[in-house]
Each structure stands twice: as C-alpha cells, then as structure tokens.
A and B are shown apart, each in its own frame.
Chain A
Amino acid sequence: MVELVPPFLVYFLGAALLPLVPGAALRSALSLLVPVIGGWLIWTMPTGTHDVVTLMGVDLTLIRNDRLAAIFALVFSFAAFVSLVYAWHVRDRVQLVATLLYSGSAIGAVFAGDLITLFLFWEGTAIASVFLIWARGTEGAYHTGLRYLVIQVASGVILLSGAALFWRETGSLAFDQMTLGSPATWLIFIAFGIKCAFPLLHSWLPDAYPSATVTGSVVLSIFTTKLAVYALARGFAGTELLIWIGVVMALFPVIWGLIENDLRRVLAYSLIGQLGFLVVGIGIGGELAINGVAAHAVSSILYKSLLFMAVGAVLFRTGTARASDLGGLVRSMPLTALFCLVGSATIAAVPLFASFATKSMILSAAGYKGYEGAWLALVAAAGATVVYTGVKVPYCAFFGADSGRRPAEAPWNMLLAMGLGSAACIGIGVFPGAFFALLPYPMEYDVYTVAHVITQLQLVAFAVLAFVLARRFGYLPTETRSVVLDSDWLYRRVLARVIGGLAQGMSIAWAGGVRFQEAWLNRVILRLYRSHGPASRMAQSWPTGAMVQWVAILLAVMLFVTFLA
C-alpha cells in the first residue's frame, strides 16, 4: 500500500493545480515549490521498497529507493528547479504543465521498482516532453515533434513487449540487473538504447532538441537521455557490448559537432558524445565505474543544461543560434558569456570544475579493468569534445568575429538559473569529497593528484590549440582571417582536408540515405493507398454477388479443411 508520498505525485499534483492559479508570476513562483518539496521527499526517503500497489493482479513497486536511484532523482529535482527558474518569464501554461509532468515522470521512472511502472513513466516522459517541442508553434516543430513522439512511444512499446516476455520467461517483473541473451532482455535493451541515443537509434535527438522552445530544449536535455542512462546502469551494468557502443557514441558526433552551424545542434551532438562516456562506464561495470557513471551523469546534466541555457539566452535575445550569425556578444552579454565559459570549462574537465572529478572516474575504471582501447578512444573523444563544444560554442557565440549585434543581457531569471548551474558545477569541482559521499558505492578516490591535473591540463591545452589551428585552416564556420602557414603544419592541413572531405562525404551519404528512405516510404504509402485507400477494391462497396462469391469460397475452404482432418 501507499505509505510514503511518492515524489512524482507532487509533480503531477503541481501540473494539475498550477494552471488554475491566476497570475503568471504567482504561478511561476509556486511552481518552484514543486521540485523543492519533491527534493525534500527524496532526501528524507528511507531506502528500500515502498508503495507497492496491486493493479490487474500485478504488484507495482512505485518506490524502490537505493543510492543509485536517489542520486539521479536528486539531480533531476535540482535540474527541474533550475529549469523552472530559467522559464520564470514563460507565460505558457502548456509548457509549465509539460515540464512538471515530464520531470515528475522521469523521477517516477527512476524510482520504479518493476518494469511495468517503469514503462508507465517511460511513456509519460515521451508524451509530456513532446509538448515542449510543439509549444514552439511552427510547422517544422510540429513535424519534428511527431517524429520524436513516434520514436519515443515506440521505445515504450518495445519496453512493454520486452517486459511481457520477461514476465513469461522468469515470472518476475522486477527491474533489476539483467543479462543480455533472451529476446526479452534484448527488447528491453533496445528500448533503453533508443532513449539513450545509441548509434543509428540516435537521429531523433539532434532532430528534436534544437527544435524545442528556448526553455524546452533545456528541459529536454536533462531528463530523457539520463533516464535511459539510469535504466541501463540499473539493468545492464557490466554488459561488455555497451563499452563498444559507448565508444562509437563518444566518437561519431565529433564530425557533425565540428561542421554543424546551429549551436543548439552542436550541443545536441555533444550530448550524444557525453552519453558515450556514460555508456562506456556502464559497460565496464563495477563499483568505481558505476560511481563514475552516476557522478558524471550528474555533472553532465549540470553543464549540458548550463550550455543549453546560455545558448538559449542568446537565442532568446537575438533570435538565432547560428554560429555564422553570432559573435562578439560578450560585449553586451558578459554574464551569460561567463556562465557559458563555466559550462565549457566543465565539459572540458578543467580542474576545479565538476567533470574533472567525475569523468576521470570512468577513465580510471576503463584503465584499471584493462580496456586500453576504450580508454584511448575516450581520451581522444574528450579532446575532441573540448574542441567542438568546450571552445567552439563560447567562441562562436561570445567571442570570435564581431557580428555587430548588441543584444541586452539575459533576463534576471535566466541569469539566476545559469548562476545556480554554474555554482553547482564549480561546487562539485572544488569539493568533490562531499559530492562523492552521495554516490552509490562508498569509495576512496583521490581526484587531485598531480599526474591527473597535469594530464588533463595538457589535454585541454592541446585541444584549444587544435581549435585555434582548425580555425586558421578554415574548417570552422566563422572563418574570417587569412592564414599564413608554416611548412611544419602542412601535413596537418592535409590531414584536416582529409577529415573535412570525409565529413562532407559522410553528410552527403547521410542526406542521400535520408532521401532514399523518404522516397521508399512514400512509395510504400502510395502503394498502400492504392490497395487500401477509399477508391481501392478493398474499401469499395461490393455488389452482393461478389460478397456471395466470398461466402462460397470460404465455405469450400472450410469444408475442405474439415474433411481433411
């Protein structure tokens, strides 16, 4: 029975009641109470399973609280709070309700103790979040939202079929560690994989996130993928396949991230890259790696939402997030630029920022467990991330060639939200010990060793160097200055050309693939329309003679079959 108030209920109640509140400011203010109450409930919640309700003869465990669930739920609450502050100025009730339902569902899913509860909240996140895309109100956003919804709901349906099979196989619906092997676990794995943007299943993410509203993409960047990370960490920790999936995820967005012009899209690709790190960590398994996953998930929520908030503020003030249209905004938006730099420093894992402490745990785990290949790939990916997100985003938006735009500084609520995010990023970076106490497993892990600090600074420094060079060679959208090359660098130019050509080739192939897919889909639909549309034989009114003919045929078949026996 229900003995504790489940935290998601606070959000759902908020979503139901807040739209009735008159006055936008009051509504925004009251909405802030929701994550606070929810967070307090999570903080004080005893561990163990609670609130088992029986539905259709199936026991649903609404709350299964352990340290892994708690840390995700807590960071979700914090991020929900920050994004509500960020959205203070939004007068749209639909977005408010969607945000609350979406965060509530994500938190509900984190505490789900069985696969059915997980499925319900899983679909909840899908359905609530699509309104954040639709709220933009454009034709493009409508179609993007539909595509997003179809994929997200499909993920839920696959999860449900996996759950049904799992029940048949094992007689249990408990959501615990699973091993890949049976169709059931594969289906569940794929369902998680869709939400986690596994390679080839990822296309919804860069499609949808940049299409949402300014505040919507901040909210979107927080929950869906991290929920999938949590689900994978809970269900498939130590599945070696995940290491290689994660490596691919960490590496392949690099090219798109480098050539993409829309900064929100750059952030979407780098989000996939960061998920790659988490997925590798899950694949490695073991206490250190899972701690690393939980910790890095927290910091990646923080810096990713921080970066989305900064770019969102730019979009809010200038109406564009294209790198080629921006530049030099630091002159009029200094605070936003500062917060963006904090986010960049965090994603780049500069010492004293959150990622420095968290990312290294995953890397160390890879090293200790002897996955040198994965370790090497991750270090390379980390370097590339510094280039295409850590430096490119703030450079293109706030520094670089002056675009002549002088927008006003972001509104106070956005600044406050970004300030909160920045404070958290720095807080974790400076006092990692206090943060580590919240992690799923107790551990002794020293972050600030000399070797580690120097390695990381080197990595960052060289990545920044690479960016500067790449800019000079003209492989970034904001190429302005002429370049003088030393012969030393020639081979690098060749290499850059090769990479550029490769990227171009890939994007052509990709576009071709999409076109082919669309043409094929159109053909299929057209053929179906010819055979099943209103004018087809299938849908026409038949003369009775033809109907009777069917009767005769069917009778003959049935007589034949019955006599056969």
Chain B
Amino acid sequence: MATESVVHTAMTLHDHLPVLQILVPFIAAPLTVFIGSRALAWPISFASSVVSLVIAWLLLMQVIDGDVISYHIGGWAPPLGIEYRVDAANAFVVFLVAAISVVVLPFAKVSVAYEVPLRDHALFYSAYLLCFSGLMGVAITGDAFNVFVFLEISSLSTYVLIAAGAGKDKRALTAAYDYLIMGTIGATFFVIGIGFLYMGTGTLNMADLAQRIAAQGGNRTIEAGFAFILVGIGLKLAFYPLHLWLPNAYTYAPSAVSAFLAATATKVAVYVLLRFCFTVFGPAFGFEVLTLQYVVLPLAVVAMFASSFVAVFQSDFKRMLAYSSIAQIGYMLLGIAFLTETGVTAAIVHLFNHGITKAALFMAVGAYVLRAGDTFYNDIAGLGRKMPWTSAAVVIGGLSLIGVPGTAGFISKWVLVQAAFEKGWWPVALLIVASSLLAVIYVWRVVEVLYLQPAREDSTATEAPLTMLVPIWVAALACIWFGIDTDTTLGAARTAAAGLLNLPGQ
C-alpha cells in the first residue's frame, strides 16, 4: 500500500510538502525572535499558519483515498533515516491543528494584546509557532524517537505559553510549573518506553517496529515498553486520573492558548495513542487488548462521569470547560478501547468535532475575559443580552458539546454509541447517553447564567470586537456544518481507521 519513492533527485516542491509542513512554522518561530518586532510577530505567525493549512489540505487530499506518502528526511532511507509518513489518520490530525491555528490566531491578536504584556509578544508568538510545529511534527513523523523530540518541542513551548497567563493571574506560573513536572515525567516515561522497544527490536521506525514486533511476538521488554508509552502519552492527553495538571493549565493560560491547546494538544496525544495502539502494536496482542479493556475503558467511563460532575458544580466557565474536556477525552479513549473499526472512527471523528467545539467555546471565554474581566458565573451573568453574538455562539458550542442532533458533537456520539452496540456492550452505550445528560446540566447552567440571570449592575460589557466574533463564529458554524455535512469528517475518519487497523480502505 505504501508508494515508496526511491528516486530522490527529481523532487519538486510538491514532493517536499511533508517536511515543509513542519519547516514553515518551525523557521518562522526563530524568525519572529530575530526580527524582534512586536508588530510583525503576529503577521508572521498568521502567514505561516495559513501556509501550513494549505499544505495540510494538499496532503490530506493526496491521502484521503487511503494512499500513504513516505518522505525520507535528507534522503536517508528508513528504517535508519527519519521518515515522515503521511496517511489519512495523521493528515487529518495535521489538518485539524493547522485549521484551528488559522482560526484561533486572528482571535488571538486582540485577546493576547489584552492578556499578555506587550513586551512579551514576540516571544509569545515564537513559542506559539514552536508549539504549533511541534504538534504537527508529532502527528506527521513516522519515527518513534522523532515523536518524542517533537513532543518535547511542543511541550516545552506549551509551558511557556501557559506561563504567559501570569500577566493576568499569577497562578498561571504554578500551573505551568506543575504541568512542566508532569509533562516531563510523561515524556520521560514515553522515552523509556521507546527505549524498551528499541531494546527489544533494534529499530525506531514505526512501520519497521510494527513488523518486527509482529514477527517476534510479545515479550516482557515489549510489554513493559507498551505500559510505559501508554502512561507517558496518558499524561499528555489527560487520561483520567493523570489529568490533574489540566484544569489549572487551561484555566490560567491566556484564553487564546487555552483555545488552541484544548482543540489540538490533547487531540494530537490521542492520535499518538492511536498510532501506537494500532500501527506499532496491534489488537492481535493479548496484552494490549487486556490493558485497553480492563484499565483504559473503565477509567474512560470514570472520566466521563467524574469530570462531568465536577464540571456541573464549577462556578467558572473556563474551568468548567477544562473539566468537560477531560470528560470528552474519555469518549475518545472509549472509542479506542473498543478496538473496532467503528470505535476508532468514533475516536478520530470526535477528536475533530470536539476540537472545533472546544475552540469555539474557549474563544468565547476569551471574549468574555476581554469584556467582563473574568468568566466566573457571576461575572458573565446576563451577558446574553449584552454580548448576543458571543453568547449565541456559546449556545451552539454547548449544544455540540452535549451532542444535540444537527451539531458535530452528535455525529461522534452517534458513531460511538454505534460502536458500543456493534460490540454488544449495551451498558457502555447507556453510560455514554447518561453522561451526555450531565453535559446537558453543565451547559444549561451556563445558558441560564447568560440569558436568565440579571447582569451585574456595574457591568459595562459590550459585544466583542469583530476580530474575535468572526473566528468564534467560524468555529461555531463549523460545529453545525460538520453536524450536517458529515461526508468529509466521517469519510476521512473511516479511511483513517481502516488504515490504522490495516483493513482495506473504502
């Protein structure tokens, strides 16, 4: 199925797209620092995001039918050289990351100007670009160690981005510090796991790893590697109960960062988990099946409920969204733990749909922060009338979060419930529906606060500026668009799932 291109000399720019995908923002990042201009930092970031999005689209179109692009860095052939391997699954994730970046950045211009001290802007956007390229790198690379490298690039810059919230609330510093420690432990576990795999197989290329592991079968080294990688990635994707860093990180980070990270960072981690669970290892291994079904699945269900309950009782909109993210990640893990094509499809499509939903909601949070100063329920009370457009977008995003038919969130939950039925796991399907009801409660609380409570008397909030409204509404309309036109997302997710599970594409 791989279309390996041996001839290296006659490459056009088009053939270099996989590496350009990463290189454009990666080079733009130091560029913003060297130029040092606060005024130019944003345009550079935006331009490179747009270029990345165009490349991501081109790549996605090439692989959406189930093809695979294998790109060899520096012409060194894998398994020795580093390989970028684009298939439907990671092209889809890369596209999501780039699209979110293009949507969030125009929003970030005003939001960051308000929340981050001016002198830090060049550095802020530089860190942002590094994080952006790191996330895409994690997704696009076909080399296990390279995943670790990109993971660290994105993580380190993420710590900086979260700490940038200190201009508004000093607790951002401790949040970033906690995340630094947890993230580093996660990365360490991940690299230890890769070390085990290298010990067991002598290779780092994922496709090669998959072949060798399949050939030699499981042994203690490989199994230990699997456990370490699972825990390491689990930390990054806020797998319950390894999620404890997330609420503070998302709450105290600048709103634009929360919007970007919530929509992309955990999603990329979910992708890595998919990649390791299905490409490197596989459902053929008893230990993987056992771990996913007896450890990951119950914890995913616990996440769906425990975090939702916490979200119900929150009194801060932003923090509530952070807890809801943990619950939503539970759905994705549930889809993976089903170990079926439909389950993986559900995980991938929910990764996308939840990404756009949370982007819309966190951006709305940014608008409230800008206009009302904070997002505690008593600060945003009654803003439904004062900020009608922002609040209407919150309602749409909230409906998508619940999974109301006609919104993107419905599609993913529908597929997920379907996957549960395919397995014959009725109770799990019922739990999915029941936890959606909790989402109804926490979303309703926000709607009630926005529309049915009187505004504070000292509130001077007015509608958010257009540069914020447009991105918010792009994301909100995307929630509706992908709830109605499902061919693109479901189609890509199905192809991706088929590719991951090595089934004939459809």
B94 to chain A, nearest CB (A): 25
**0/1 string, B278-310, CB within 8 A of A gives 1:** 000000011111110011000000000010011
A470 at interface by CB-CB < 8 Å: no
A539 vs B315: C-alpha distance in the bound complex, in angstroms? 11
Residues of B within 8 A of A183 (CB): 426
Q: Is the CB of A532 within 8 A of B313?
A: yes
Residue of A161, A183, A532, A563 ringed by the most chain B CB atoms within 10 A: A532
A534 within 8 A of B: yes
In the assembled complex, A55 has its CB within 8 A of some CB on chain B = yes
Contacting pair B312 A532 (CB below 8 A): yes
Are A157 and B242 in contact, CB atoms less than 8 angstroms apart? no
* Contacting residues, chain B, for A20 (C-beta < 8 A): none
B-chain residues with CB within 8 Å of residue A565 when the two chains form the complex: 218, 223, 285-287, 289-290
In the bound complex, do residue B231 and residue A547 qualify as a contact, i.e. CB atoms below 8 Å apart?
A: no
B340 within 8 A of A: no
Q: Indicate if the CB atoms of A534 and B315 lie closer than 8 Å.
A: yes
- Say how far B45's CB is from chain A's closest CB, in angstroms: 31
Cβ of B223: which chain A residues have Cβ within 8 Å of it? 559, 562-563, 565
Q: Which residues of B contact A561 (CB under 8 A)?
A: 287, 290-291, 294-295
- Cβ contacts under 8 Å, B417 to chain A: 161, 164
Can you list, as one digit per residue, whether each of A537-565 has a CB less than 8 Å from chain B (1) or not (0)? 01101101011101100110111011111
Q: Out of A56, A531, A533, name the residue touching B490 (CB < 8 Å).
A: A56
Do A547 and B242 touch across chains, with their CB atoms under 8 A apart? yes
How far does the Cβ of A364 sit from chain B's closest Cβ, in whole Å? Answer: 42
- Most chain-B CB neighbours within 10 Å: which of A157, A161, A534, A551? A551
Question: Are B433 and A547 closer than 8 Å at their CB atoms?
Answer: no
**Contacting B418 at CB < 8 Å: which of A160, A164, A531?**
A164
A45-65 residues with Cβ-Cβ distance < 8 A to B are 55-56
* Contact segment of B82-90, B122-130, B243-251, B350-358: B243-251
CA of A529 to CA of B309, assembled, Å: 8
B310 near A539 with CB under 8 A, answer yes
For the complex, what is the distance from the CA of A558 to the CA of B288, rounded to whole Å?
10
Q: Assuming A542-B244, A550-B244, A557-B295, is B313 touching A564 (CB within 8 A)?
A: no
Q: Please tell me if A120 contacts chain B, counting CB pairs below 8 Å.
A: yes
Q: Classify the secondary structure of A's interface with B.
A: helix
- Chain A residue numbers with a CB within 8 Å of B481 are none
In whole angstroms, how far apart are the Cα atoms of A165 and B422 in the complex?
10
Give B48 Cβ to nearest chain A Cβ, in Å. Answer: 34
Interface check B110, CB cutoff 8 A: no
Q: Smallest CB-CB separation from A119: which chain B residue? A: B405
In the bound assembly, the distance between CA atoms of A153 and B436 in angstroms comes to 12
Return B384 CB to nearest CB of chain A, in Å: 15
| In the complex, per-residue mask of B298-334: 1 if CB is within 8 Å of any chain A CB, else 0 | 0000000010011011110000000100000000000
* Cα separation A561 to B226 with both chains bound (whole Å): 11
| Min CB gap B21→A, angstroms | 31
| CB-CB under 8 A for A547 and B245, given A532-B313, A534-B313, A564-B290 | yes
Contact A529 B234 (CB under 8 A): no
**What chain A residues lie within 8 Å of B433 (beta carbons)?**
157, 161
Given the contacts A532-B310, A532-B312, A559-B227, A547 and B182 also touching, CB distance less than 8 Å: yes
B241: shortest Cβ distance to chain A, in Å? 5
Q: What distance in Å separates the Cβ of B23 from its nearest Cβ neighbour in chain A? A: 34
* B486 and chain A: residue at smallest CB distance: A56
Residues of A within 8 A of B315 (CB): 534
| A-side contacts of B290, CB under 8 Å | 561-562, 564-565
- Could you tell me if A529 and B242 are in contact, using CB atoms closer than 8 angstroms? no
CB closest chain-B residue, reference A529: B313
Contact check, A541 vs B247: say whether CB atoms are below 8 A apart: yes
Q: Which residue on chain A has the smallest CB distance to residue B180?
A: A544
Bound-complex Cα distance A55 to B220 (A): 48
Q: Which residue of A lies closest to B241 (CB)?
A: A550
Which among A56, A153, A546, A563 has the highest number of chain B CB atoms within 10 Å?
A56
Number of chain A interface residues as a range: 35 or more
Q: Which residues 211-234 of B have a CB within 8 angstroms of A?
A: 218, 220, 223-224, 226-228, 230-231, 234
Q: Which residues of A sit under 8 angstroms from B230, Cβ to Cβ?
A: 558
The 8 A CB mask of A499-536 against B (1 = contact, 0 = none) is 00000000000000000000000000000110111101
A541 to B235, CA, bound (A): 16
Please name all residues of chain B whose beta carbon is closer than 8 Å to the beta carbon of A563 when the two chains form the complex.
220, 223, 287
Is B421 in the interface zone, CB < 8 Å from A? yes
Contact between chains at A551 and B242 (CB < 8 Å): yes
User: Is B227 touching A555 in the complex (CB atoms < 8 A)?
Assistant: yes
Is the C-beta of B185 less than 8 angstroms from some C-beta in chain A? Answer: yes
Cβ–Cβ < 8 Å partners of A554 in chain B: 231, 234, 241-242, 295
- Is A168 in contact with chain B by the CB < 8 A criterion? yes
Enumerate A168-191 residues with CB–CB distance to B below 8 Å: 168, 183
In the bound complex, residues from chain A placing their C-beta under 8 Å from that of B234 are 554
B61 within 8 A of A: no
Chain B positions 392-444 with a Cβ under 8 Å from a chain A Cβ: 405, 411, 414, 417-418, 421-422, 426, 429-430, 433, 437, 440
Q: Are B185 and A548 in contact (CB under 8 A)?
A: yes
Residues of B within 8 A of A555 (CB): 189, 227-228, 231
Q: How many residues of B contact A (CB 8 A)?
A: 57
Query: Quick one: given A555-B189, A562-B291, are A539 and B313 in contact (CB under 8 Å)?
Result: yes
B73 adjacent to chain A (CB < 8 Å):
no
Contacts of B285 in A (CB 8 A): 565
B220: chain A residues at CB < 8 Å are 563
CB atoms of A558 and B244 under 8 A apart:
no
Q: Which of B291, B323, B422 contacts A558 (CB 8 A)?
A: B291
Is there an interface contact between A532 and B306, defined as CB atoms closer than 8 Å?
yes
Min CB–CB distance B137 → chain A (angstroms): 25
Within 8 A of B (CB), among A106-158: 119-120, 123, 142, 153, 157
Report the Cα distance A528→B306, complex, angstroms: 10
Give the residue name and chain of the B residue nearest to A553 (CB). Answer: B241
Give B429-461 as 1s and 0s: 1 = Cβ < 8 Å from A's Cβ atoms: 110010001001000000000001000000000
Which residue of chain B has the shortest Cβ distance to A156 in the bound complex? B405
Near A by CB (< 8 A), chain B positions 109-134 give: none
Q: Is the CB of A164 within 8 A of B421?
A: yes
**B466 in the interface, Cβ–Cβ < 8 Å?**
no
A165 touches B421 (CB 8 A): yes
B178: Cβ under 8 A from any A Cβ? yes
Q: Does B47 contact A (CB under 8 A)?
A: no
Taking the nearest CB of chain B, how far is it from the CB of A159, in angstroms?
Answer: 12
Contacting residues, chain B, for A168 (C-beta < 8 A): 418, 421-422
Q: Is B484 an interface residue (CB 8 A)?
A: yes
What residues on A are CB-neighbors of B294 within 8 Å?
561
Q: Are B181 and A544 in contact (CB under 8 A)?
A: yes
| Cα distance, A168 to B426, chains bound together (Å) | 12
Give Cα A165–Cα B289 distance, bound, in whole angstroms: 26
B313 → chain A closest CB, angstroms: 4
A533 pairs with B313, CB closer than 8 A: yes
Bound: A542/B181 CA distance, A: 13
Q: Which residues of A contact B430 (CB under 8 A)?
A: 161
> Complex Cα distance A183/B427, Å?
12
A166 to chain B, nearest CB (A): 11
- Tell me, rounded to whole Å, the shortest Cβ–Cβ distance linking B415 to chain A: 10
Q: How far is the CB of A61 from chain B (nearest CB, A)?
A: 16
CB closest chain-A residue, reference B181: A544
Contact B309 A532 (CB under 8 A): yes
Specify which chain A residues have a CB less than 8 angstroms from the CB of B426 in the assembled complex.
Answer: 183
CA distance A380 to B346 in the complex (A): 55
Q: How far is A531 from B426 in the complex, measured between Cα atoms in Å?
A: 28
Q: Known: A551-B242, A561-B290. Contact between A538 and B306, CB under 8 A?
A: yes
CB pair A547–B244 under 8 Å, yes or no, is yes
9 A-B residue pairs with CB within 8 Å? A168-B421, A532-B309, A538-B306, A558-B230, A559-B224, A562-B223, A562-B224, A564-B290, A565-B218
Residues of A within 8 A of B (CB): 55-56, 119-120, 123, 142, 153, 157, 160-161, 164-165, 168, 183, 528-529, 531-534, 536, 538-539, 541-542, 544, 546-548, 550-551, 554-555, 557-559, 561-565
Kindly list the 5 A-B residue pairs having the minimum CB-CB distance in the complex, ordered from nearest: A565-B287, A532-B309, A558-B227, A565-B286, A562-B287
